[in-house]
Structure 1
Amino acid sequence: MSDQEPSRLETELELLEAMYPDQTSYSTKSREFRFSDATASLTLRLPETYPEAGLPDVISATDAAKTDVRNQGRSAVKELGLVDGEEALDAIIAAFQQVLESNATQQSAQLSSAKHNTSGATHHEDKTVIIWLHHLLNTNKRKLALSPPPSSPPVSGLTKPGYPGILIFSGPLSVVNEHVNTLKAQNWQAFQVRYEEDEMWHFAHGVGVREVETMAEVVKGIQAEEQGKKQKEEFLKAVGIK
């Protein structure tokens, strides 16, 4: 290894520790990097020449239920198209988190479907999600976010373009899930579901999804009716402001 490589790797590891406090660890002896997210975990083996040459290999990956998602993780990393010679750990962690979120969404949908089939219930369930994006600039993505599938009651919410991008959707569970999955299928640098609850939120503008320009407008827009204070607190916690 050259004199520069340990410095680059050390810098990368320090940055990751700052981004994910108490969630990362690295063994210089085995050259294994570990990331944990609650009960889910990801283990990578770094080549001797990394990051100057070579890319980390996924040697272990499990979700919150301890299910082996190593193949999914490797496929997600492959789709990133990582460039040899560049730091890659942050991008791999983000890809792993998307695998976890995708699996959780599918499991939730399957559970909801099973409950519906078992009970034969005709009432709809509500859902509210808050999504954090690294950025939201593309015009087509912005239009897509504002156009959820039609439903009764309709999906309502707020979107904020720029850095970071914010998406809030509230409405019938199945329709919200469909809209989120459609958006998630787009190409994103980071797409994180920060809040997900079976409840209906109300917005100052009424129904439908509306785009606002600033975070302050988002906060103002969710302070509606009696639960406005609670919605504000949940939003601020979700985006890491409170």
Structure 2
Amino acid sequence: MCLQSQLQELQLIQHSLLPGESFSFVLPPEDSRIWTSLLHSFNTATTALPSLPSPIPQVKFQVKAIDARISFEVQFPERYPEDADVDTAQVPLISINGDGVSRDEHRRWRAFVQERLADVQGNNSDYPIYQLLCMHLLPKLHEDGHSIDTGLSESMDILEQQSSNRPPDYHALLTSHHLVSPTKRRSLQRWSSELSISGFAKVGYPGVIYAQGSQENIEEFVANVKSMQWLALRVRFVEPIDPANDGHHQGWSEFQKVGEVVEEMRRRGRDKYITEMGIGSSVLK
């Protein structure tokens, strides 16, 4: 069961990488051959598995952006993810590597990794390392130009200073029959980063997408979403935000349950926007 879960997560990571991002095993040649054969068999649904030693060596792999100085190495413990919730020895080890990376930069990246790892573990995700790498760490590499030297707090200060001189934000709500595709999920994350949009996507059935940002960027974001193939996609609204109910929000999140969507919109003071449309109404009863 642990092996199958690990292969599922490795497959999801591998298939979710964008052009310019790479996945590779960081293992001795024989161990690398074993895991390459396992992942190939799993990807192609081959019934005959390669000859395996007992026990199977622990997997260690690297994910990086080709033009970045920083890369991430992850090692899955033998019984991950089965015992990860109760046994700290079964929590994946995540290393930050890079040439010419200062001690302060490495420390800041380490703090960022630990913060985001706690977030995804708190969401009880089935694939926490996939979410950590593909939804947080790789987008952060691209967003920051491969450096986190400026620090998260300084970036937030700059945004707060600029907010007093900008026009009112817009927000948009979209729903679809479902949102499952890793490609679509990565695209939403990438667009939110490129267009300085905050919000979330509720994955599974149904799909819910909420985004907030400048009018121009929200309109471009909605156009990008509509350009992809969807089943029963509906743009519920694209409109300016009432300044009286506006707040400071950053980042892009993913939720698994409708109840989490209701709670997030309540936190933003906008739960009426979804409950009036019947989204999450059963949760409130």
TM-score (norm 2): 0.36
TM-score (norm 1): 0.42
